[in-house]
Amino acid sequence: MIGVFDSGIGGLRLLDQLRQRWGQEDFIYLADQAHVPYGSLDRDTLLELLQQNLNWLEDQGAKTIVVACNTASATGIVRRYIGQAQVIEIISKTCELIPESARKILVLATPFTVQSHRYKQVLAQQRPQAEVKEVGLSCLAFMIEHLCPKQEILAYLQGELRAYRGQYDAAVLACTHFPFAREQFAEVLQIPLIDSESIALEAPKKAGQGTLRIVTTGSGEQLSRQLHQLMRWDTVCEHVQIEK
């Protein structure tokens, strides 16, 4: 079984891609919506939440867990996780998707991810000649999580990013929520956009039954509505209480 973890709905598009690739594998998706947005939390709080959430996924049978949340990945949870499951973070794998021709790279992320400078660190190793600019978008994940109208999101991005229009070779949407606003990013920036949805992962060693379970620490009814509006999935989502 493969577990996919995100603070909210952001990892759903990655989950969709993984299921299209490995339709016979069993998946469980956990959204920690009781604590979203992660980008405003401090490191110690994040690490505590991550440990208990990943432990829970492992207890459900997940042998591999993809941490689809960039903010969570920026904490270094892969190195710190205490458990048996293989934990995969997406920052380094997302950086691998940036074209070699890109010399000026714009990284758009949550404030926590920007403050960690994890993308700069990875890109300094992968392509030391590149110029990297990190920009924090403090409100966007919250707006997407709460299904704000597209015009409101466009107006927000215009205010935050107008100065970067056409000034970079590529922009990394360094939060899994952000691709839900890809159309608005494209209109404002007019440069190629990179995200984590097509990252390369190793194929599962053993096929499952093709089952899917979607759970949240928040409202199951709310996540079901979000799934229908954003993904057109009519899936009943469960609420779970994850204890420390």
In this predicted model, what pLDDT tens digit does every residue of 25-75 receive, in sequence order? Answer: 999 999 999 998 887 788 899 999 999 999 999 999 999 999 999 999 989
| pLDDT attached to residue 191 | 96
Strand (E) or helix (H) holding 2? strand 2-6
Q: How far is CA 203 from the centre of its chain?
A: 20
Rounded Cα distance, 53 and 45, in Å: 12
**Residue whose entry in the numeric block shows the structure tokens 């009814």:** 221
Name the band, by pLDDT with cuts 50, 70 and 90, for residue 202: confident
Q: Check pLDDT > 80 for residue 92.
A: yes
Q: Check pLDDT > 90 for residue 78.
A: no
Rounded Cα distance, 225 and 203, in Å: 31
DSSP per-residue codes, 180-209: GGHHHHHHHH-S-EE-GGG---PPPSS---
| pLDDT attached to residue 40 | 79
What percentage of the chain has pLDDT greater than the value 70? 99
Rounded Cα distance, 146 and 128, in Å: 38
> Which of the pair, 40 or 217, is modelled with greater confidence?
217
Rounded Cα distance, 154 and 92, in Å: 28
In this predicted model, what pLDDT tens digit does every residue of 165-190 receive, in sequence order? Answer: 999 999 999 999 999 999 999 999 99
Residue positions annotated with a catalytic role: 69, 175
Name the band, by pLDDT with cuts 50, 70 and 90, for residue 197: confident
Helices (H), 8-149: 12-21, 43-59, 70-73, 77-80, 91-95, 111-116, 118-126, 140-145
- Mean residue pLDDT of the chain comes to 92
| pLDDT attached to residue 190 | 96
Sequence-separated (6 or more) residues with CB below 8 Å from residue 155: none
- Range of lowest pLDDT (79-88, 98-107, 157-166): 79-88
| pLDDT attached to residue 244 | 60
> Which of the pair, 141 or 202, is modelled with greater confidence?
141
| pLDDT attached to residue 181 | 96
What domains, with CATH codes, occur in the chain? Answer: 2-90+198-239 (3.40.50.1860), 92-196 (3.40.50.1860)
Q: Assign residue 210 a region: left if phi > 0, alpha if psi is -120 to 50, beta otherwise?
A: left
